[in-house]
């Protein structure tokens, strides 16, 4: 039926009308996701990564937002062309979402049990009894201790990490084919973050679902994803298999992001920071949107929008100097390899 | 603060919409002395200026003004209120000059001492002389309605000023001093809040009725002003609480500025936004209460007449001379309607939280 | 919970005493008295009257006697309506006011919540603007202007309803008073519902509900309404106080024998026992209702702890 892709997003554009004029929150995004794979989408706040994913299941608040153009092929059908009630049959059933803030994403006025039950009653036709038992089972699956007694609690009686587990239980209730996790750990303590990520990983392996993991934290995606997309100002800046992107970044922005990840083994005493602030998407410069913050920007970057350069079979970068940056990365990696191999050799 | 009230742990207390901490303006560095109201810039503008593309002269006020002008209902309200105010101030004078009708002049010709409909003469033919007709004593309704506007607007504004004076002082002092005093002062406000104050006002006005119109008017100002300051005090206190630890206050304190001076020169001017909004919304409320009291016979006394008194006088004849009630009633409703829209618009314009995307 | 109620009552009782003391103080501090009308009365008669009502005793004795009556909830006889006790008068007029007031509030809840929700769901649509303009009109028209206009249209022109007087409840005669009284609350509740719903509809948990695949109807009814109506619940306390002033007006316009009308008459007559009785009654009702509202709020919002 198709090329093994569960999800294909083609030239997606989502714009918002604001007081400052039209904001192109997502401006021509394309990517594909195979069954069982995990895709990471990385970017600073305002880069359009959340809007992309809300667009996939058509949850953009309209107005002010609207999906201007594009296709979202989910298992071969274009979600953007479906009727509202057809999309609803996909939401929660085949595509589920986990949101950033577990404190506000659960209904504070409703018992956990009811919030979990309504999704399987809706999509799987469970009776109350079945849904209730299923809810307890799901809470046990996500590791909530004493699930049977806690299922009738209210969200405020749970800690942040526990609430995110409830969110995950809710999302996975109907065994969706695609799980979109929008910054699932941002609002949590560091120790809890690792637990939640591990949980998502385990459950993904158990159910075979594909996952889109949205984050601004490169550390989060490193061990979790097969492919990565780096977004900036509503555009894909770089796209590559995760290992390749980490090893051989082909875009100055990605390089900056990578350098700003703290590395406990390095001896540098100051953390690198990309200078300047995230762009004001309502007033983008004419040329490359990253140019004002880019160390290697030249005159052409201010003037012309950069091309989307293919570096290898699966590696793309949006930059006038993509090839040069990529080669530098290769050289650095080569020398690093050399250094580490000499170091290795040095040991008797 | 309210341990007798239910609280939502760690969440916004949605029951006090006045206390939005986000309303607290943010400050430019070095912007330590605040005498002019050109003080605050919104977050977005801080970012804009750091990015280098400074939007020239964008202050909170200019921004708010721009947003206000975009709000059609608020602009409508502003225009109507201005027209009514100007007409009320100058109208009676102009009518007197052009036609000779004063609001309280009863015609000397006995045949004219009766109520005739809008645009009619006593014999029923068309005339421009009395666009709103006349009352039972043949007095021109238009002149009376416009003069009633003077009284109603004056009561609304002065009573609001009284409530401003009490509320701002009380709230600022409580918020700035904090601690036990704040606790006590706010507990008093809580208790006063739960009093059926309108009952007390009625008793007060019934017991202390003045025989002079001016005395009664003064009594009204005091009565109305002294019951409508509570919300103002709460709003100002909330603002002050969020302002008092900001750098410019610390700087003032460090340089030895006296406490009253800090409160009234440095902090109070910065609470202006919400205070203006709330004051604008208090004026129609006060006017409505005044009308209510006039209806009960406790309002302004003859020969002075507010819209409330005029409408009340008209009620008796509603079946025969409906214009006696309809014109003052509708003029008043229209004015209150416009003031409310203006207040709503100001709130939307000055409260970035409520801004629509 | 119990301790919350006890704590609240500990505040409520002194508040009621403060209200009554203030009222009494205002009556006593005001110049003049209830028995002097327009004309002078002979000194001897005046002394008799003062003797009879205990006005010659020191003020604290009189105050103590009054407070004793309040605590026993027995306010003695009216000065003006001779031979009638204050409790009789309240017992007779209260049902009238309560019937009108509660029906008006019920009507306002139904219409207001409906209008407000529709406006919120169709934000910035024509329907939204229309219902909000209507609501603003409701807030801006004084009820003593609205009442006569309704009478003019529905009684004097269309002859649908009687223009005045009390015909019992329910009856056609109660329709116009209820409509007049409920307009303001309808408007307030519609605005509160709209604002509350708009805030809730923007919240994360509504997005979660939508992401579950619930229909918009289910999202609104199951998830949004409860949080959206919380402001309406907390408005109920102040609303009851407003309701009071409203009934005063409506009872006067439609000549209904309710509590409000008696209160105004009593104030004008300086009928001290009746004033104190009605004020005490109103204060107690209001504060108890506020307590009930807070408890109801706690039931609606599980995050509240007492």
Residues C178-192 pLDDT 10s? 888 888 888 888 888
pLDDT digits (tens, 9 = 90+) for B164-216: 889 888 988 888 888 888 888 888 887 777 777 778 888 888 877 767 777 77
Element holding B280 (H helix, E strand): helix B272-295
- When scoring A14, A17, A18, A19 by the number of chain B Cβ atoms within 10 A, the one with the most, hence best to mutate, is A19
Statement: residue B111 has pLDDT above 80: no
Is A307 part of the contact surface with chain B (CB cutoff 8 Å)?
Answer: no
Round to whole Å and give the CA distance between A74 and A119. 21
Q: Which of A91, A92, A101 sits opposite C204 (nearest CB)?
A: A101
Q: Which of B4, B204, B344 sits opposite C8 (nearest CB)?
A: B4
Q: B18 falls in which pLDDT band (50, 70, 90)?
A: very low
Say which range, A268-272, B16-20, B161-165, C264-268, has the weakest mean pLDDT.
B16-20
Is C300 part of the contact surface with chain A (CB cutoff 8 Å)?
Answer: yes
Q: Report the neighbours of A using a cutoff of 3 or more CB pairs below 8 angstroms.
A: B, C
Burial (0-12, 13-18, 19+ Cβ within 10 Å), A327: middle
Round to whole Å and give the CA distance between A167 and C281. 51
Q: Which of C204, C214, C303 sits opposite A99 (nearest CB)?
A: C204
Distances (CA, A) of B123 to B106, B108, B114: 18, 17, 11
Q: C236 falls in which pLDDT band (50, 70, 90)?
A: confident
Q: Report the neighbours of C using a cutoff of 3 or more CB pairs below 8 angstroms.
A: A, B
Chain A residues closer than 8 Å to C211 by CB = 57, 59, 91-92, 96-97, 99
Strand partners, A178: A95, A210
pLDDT value of position C144:
83
Nearest Cα to Cα of residue B21 among B199, B178, B245, B229: B245
User: Average model confidence (pLDDT) for chain B?
Assistant: 72
Is C299 part of the contact surface with chain A (CB cutoff 8 Å)?
Answer: no
Angle of helix B60-70 versus helix B323-350 axis, rounded to 10: 130
Round to whole Å and give the CA distance between C255 and C234. 32
Round to whole Å and give the CA distance between B99 and C108. 47
Provide the token pair at A58: 């058509």
- List the 184-243 stretch of C: residues with Cβ below 8 A of A: 202-205, 207-215, 222-223, 226-227
Q: How far is CA A303 from the centre of its chain?
A: 31
Max Cα–Cα distance, chain A, nearest Å: 68
Burial (0-12, 13-18, 19+ Cβ within 10 Å), A74: buried
Burial (0-12, 13-18, 19+ Cβ within 10 Å), B348: buried
- In 3-state terms, what secondary structure has residue A97? strand
Composition of chain B by helix, strand, coil, percent to 5: 65, 5, 35
Alpha helices in B120-212 (DSSP H): 141-177, 179-193, 197-207
Instruction: Please indicate whether residue C13 or residue B43 has the higher confidence score (pLDDT).
Output: C13
Inter-residue contact A290 to A320 (CB < 8 Å) = no
Statement: residue B29 has pLDDT above 50: no
Is A320 part of the contact surface with chain C (CB cutoff 8 Å)?
Answer: no
- Highest averaged pLDDT of the listed ranges B135-149, B211-225, C104-118: C104-118
State which residue of chain C sits closest to A84, comparing Cα positions: C215
Residues with pLDDT less than 70, chain A: 1-3, 262-271, 335-348
Nearest Cα to Cα of residue A308 among A239, A262, A258, A217: A239
Q: Do A92 and C211 touch (CB under 8 A)?
A: yes
- List the 52-111 stretch of A: residues with Cβ below 8 A of C: 57, 59, 61, 63, 85, 88-93, 96-97, 99, 101, 104-110
Chain A residues closer than 8 Å to C204 by CB = 99, 101, 104-105
Round to whole Å and give the CA distance between C154 and A93. 56
Statement: residue B347 has pLDDT above 70: yes
Give the percent of chain C with pLDDT over 70: 95
pLDDT value of position A92:
84
Inter-residue contact B132 to B323 (CB < 8 Å) = yes
pLDDT digits (tens, 9 = 90+) for A214-246: 888 787 788 888 888 998 888 888 888 888 888
pLDDT value of position C110:
92
* 3-state DSSP of A301-340: HHHCCCCEEEEECCEEEECCCHHHHHHHHHHHHHHHHHHH
State which residue of chain A sits closest to C302, comparing Cα positions: A109
pLDDT value of position C107:
92
Q: How many helices (H) and strands (E) does chain B have?
A: 13, 2
**Has the ipTM of the complex gone over 0.85?**
no
Is A170 part of the contact surface with chain C (CB cutoff 8 Å)?
Answer: yes
- The secondary structure of residue A26, as a DSSP letter, is E
Provide the token pair at A281: 């998407």
- In 3-state terms, what secondary structure has residue B198? helix
Provide the token pair at A65: 């937002």
Provide the token pair at B68: 């206000």
pLDDT value of position A242:
87
pLDDT value of position B331:
87
Strand partners, A239: A229, A316
pTM comes to 0.77
* Alpha-carbon gap: B357 to the closest alpha carbon of chain A (Å): 6
Statement: residue B42 has pLDDT above 50: no
pLDDT digits (tens, 9 = 90+) for B294-330: 888 887 777 778 888 888 887 777 777 777 778 888 8
Report the relative pairing of strands A210-215 and A21-34 from DSSP bridges: unpaired
Instruction: Please indicate whether residue B16 or residue B66 has the higher confidence score (pLDDT).
Output: B66
Rounded to 5 degrees, φ, ψ at B195 are -75, 145
Q: Do A18 and B53 touch (CB under 8 A)?
A: no
Round to whole Å and give the CA distance between C212 and C214. 6
Rounded to 5 degrees, φ, ψ at B120 are -125, 150
Residue found by looking up tokens 């492919």 in the block: A227
Q: How far is CA A315 from the centre of its chain?
A: 18
- The secondary structure of residue B40, as a DSSP letter, is E
Mean pLDDT of B223-233: 83
Provide the token pair at B223: 């009565």
Instruction: Kindly provide the residue ranges of all beta strands, DSSP E only, lying in A233-291, ordered along the sequence.
Output: 235-241
Strand partners, A228: A40, A240
Inter-residue contact A10 to A74 (CB < 8 Å) = no
pLDDT value of position A272:
72
Mean pLDDT of C165-181: 78
Provide the token pair at B24: 């607290």
What is the separation, in whole angstroms, between the first and last Cα of chain B? 34
- The secondary structure of residue B114, as a DSSP letter, is S
Round to whole Å and give the CA distance between A169 and A189. 20
Q: B46 falls in which pLDDT band (50, 70, 90)?
A: very low
């Amino acid at each position: 039926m198709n090329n093994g892709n569960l999800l294909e997003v083609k030239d997606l554009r989502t714009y918002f009308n604001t007081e400052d004029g039209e904001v192109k929150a997502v401006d021509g995004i394309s990517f594909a996701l195979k069954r069982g794979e995990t895709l990471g989408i990385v970017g600073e706040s305002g880069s359009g990564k959340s809007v992309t994913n809300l667009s996939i299941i058509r949850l953009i608040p309209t107005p002010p937002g609207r999906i201007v153009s594009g296709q979202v092929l989910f298992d071969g059908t274009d979600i953007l062309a479906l009727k509202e009630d057809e999309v609803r049959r996909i939401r929660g059933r085949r595509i589920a979402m986990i949101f950033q803030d577990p404190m506000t994403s659960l209904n504070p006025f409703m018992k956990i049990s009811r919030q979990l039950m309504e999704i399987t009653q809706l999509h799987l036709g469970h009776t109350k009894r079945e849904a209730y038992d299923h809810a307890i089972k799901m809470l046990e699956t996500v590791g909530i201790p004493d699930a049977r007694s806690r299922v009738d609690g209210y969200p405020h009686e749970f800690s942040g990490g526990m609430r995110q587990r409830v969110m995950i239980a809710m999302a996975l209730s109907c065994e969706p084919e695609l799980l979109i996790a929008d910054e699932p750990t941002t609002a949590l303590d560091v120790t809890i973050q690792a637990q939640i990520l591990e949980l998502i990983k385990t459950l993904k392996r158990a159910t075979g679902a594909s996952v889109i993991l949205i984050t601004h934290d490169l550390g989060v995606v490193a061990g979790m994803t097969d492919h990565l997309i780096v977004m900036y100002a509503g555009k894909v800046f770089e796209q590559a298999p995760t290992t390749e992107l980490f090893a051989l970044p082909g875009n100055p922005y990605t390089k900056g992001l990578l350098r700003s990840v703290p590395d406990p083994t390095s001896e540098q005493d100051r953390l690198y920071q990309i200078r300047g602030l995230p762009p004001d998407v309502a007033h983008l410069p004419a040329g490359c949107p990253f140019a004002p913050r880019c160390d290697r920007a030249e005159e052409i970057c201010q003037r012309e929008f950069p091309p989307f350069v293919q570096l290898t079979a699966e590696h793309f970068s949006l930059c006038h100097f993509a090839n040069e940056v990529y080669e530098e990365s290769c050289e650095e990696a080569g020398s690093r390899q050399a250094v580490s191999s000499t170091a290795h050799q040095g040991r008797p | 603060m309210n341990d007798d009230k239910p609280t939502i742990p760690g969440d916004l207390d949605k029951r006090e919409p006045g206390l939005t901490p986000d309303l607290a303006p943010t400050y430019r560095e070095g912007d330590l002395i605040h005498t002019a109201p050109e003080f605050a810039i919104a977050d977005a503008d801080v970012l804009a200026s750091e990015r280098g593309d400074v939007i020239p002269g964008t202050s909170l006020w200019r921004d708010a003004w721009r947003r206000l002008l975009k709000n059609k209902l608020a602009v409508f309200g502003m225009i109507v209120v201005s027209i009514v105010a100007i007409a009320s101030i100058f109208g009676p004078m102009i009518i007197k000059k052009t036609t000779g009708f004063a609001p309280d002049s009863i015609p000397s010709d006995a045949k004219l001492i009766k109520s005739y409909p809008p645009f009619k003469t006593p014999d029923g033919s068309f005339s421009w002389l009395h666009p709103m007709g006349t009352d039972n004593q043949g007095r021109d309704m238009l002149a009376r309605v416009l003069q009633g506007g003077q009284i109603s607007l004056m009561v609304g504004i002065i009573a609001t000023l009284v409530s401003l004076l009490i509320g701002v002082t009380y709230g600022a002092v409580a918020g700035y001093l904090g601690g036990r005093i704040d606790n006590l002062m706010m507990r008093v406000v809580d208790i006063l809040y739960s009093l059926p104050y309108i009952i007390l006002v009625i008793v007060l006005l019934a017991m202390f009725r003045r025989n002079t119109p001016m005395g009664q008017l003064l009594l009204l100002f005091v009565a109305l002003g002294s019951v409508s300051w509570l919300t103002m005090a709460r709003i100002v206190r909330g603002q002050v609480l969020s302002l008092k630890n900001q750098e410019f206050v610390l700087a003032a304190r460090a340089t030895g500025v006296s406490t009253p001076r800090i409160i009234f020169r440095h902090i109070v001017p910065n609470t202006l936004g919400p205070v203006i909004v709330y004051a604008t919304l208090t004026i129609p409320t006060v006017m409505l209460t005044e009308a209510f009291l006039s209806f009960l016979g406790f309002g302004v006394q003859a020969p002075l007449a507010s819209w409330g008194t005029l409408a009340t006088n008209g009620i008796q004849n509603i079946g025969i001379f409906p214009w006696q009630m309809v014109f003052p009633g509708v003029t008043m409703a229209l004015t209150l309607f416009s003031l409310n829209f203006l207040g709503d618009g100001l709130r939307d314009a000055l409260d970035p939280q409520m801004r629509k995307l | 919970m119990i301790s919350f109620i006890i704590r609240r009552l500990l505040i409520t009782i002194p508040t009621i005493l403060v209200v009554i003391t203030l009222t009494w103080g205002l009556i006593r501090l005001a110049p003049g008295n209830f028995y002097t009308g327009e004309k002078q009365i002979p000194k001897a008669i005046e002394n008799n009257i003062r003797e009879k009502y205990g006005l010659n005793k020191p003020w604290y004795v009189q105050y103590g006697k009054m407070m004793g009556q309040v605590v026993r909830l027995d306010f003695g006889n009216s000065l003006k309506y001779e031979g009638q006790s204050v409790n009789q008068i309240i017992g007779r007029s209260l049902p009238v006011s309560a019937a009108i007031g509660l029906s008006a509030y019920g009507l306002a809840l139904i219409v207001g919540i409906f209008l407000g929700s529709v406006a919120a769901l169709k934000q910035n649509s024509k329907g939204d603007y229309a219902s909000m303009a209507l609501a603003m009109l409701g807030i801006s028209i004084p009820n003593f202007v609205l009442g006569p206009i309704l009478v003019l249209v529905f009684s004097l022109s269309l002859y649908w309803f009687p223009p005045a007087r009390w015909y019992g409840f329910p009856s056609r005669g109660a329709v116009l008073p209820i409509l007049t009284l409920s307009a303001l609350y309808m408007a307030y509740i519609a605005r509160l519902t709209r604002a509350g719903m708009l805030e809730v509809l923007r919240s994360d948990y509504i997005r979660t509900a939508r992401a579950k695949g619930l229909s918009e109807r289910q999202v609104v009814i199951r998830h949004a309404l409860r949080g959206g109506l919380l402001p309406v619940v907390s408005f109920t306390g102040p609303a009851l106080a407003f309701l009071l002033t409203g009934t005063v007006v409506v009872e006067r316009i439609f000549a209904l024998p309710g509590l409000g009308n008696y209160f105004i008459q009593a104030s004008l007559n300086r009928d001290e026992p009746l004033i104190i009785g009605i004020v005490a009654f109103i204060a107690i009702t209001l504060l108890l209702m506020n307590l009930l509202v807070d408890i109801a709020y706690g039931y609606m919002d599980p995050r509240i702890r007492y």
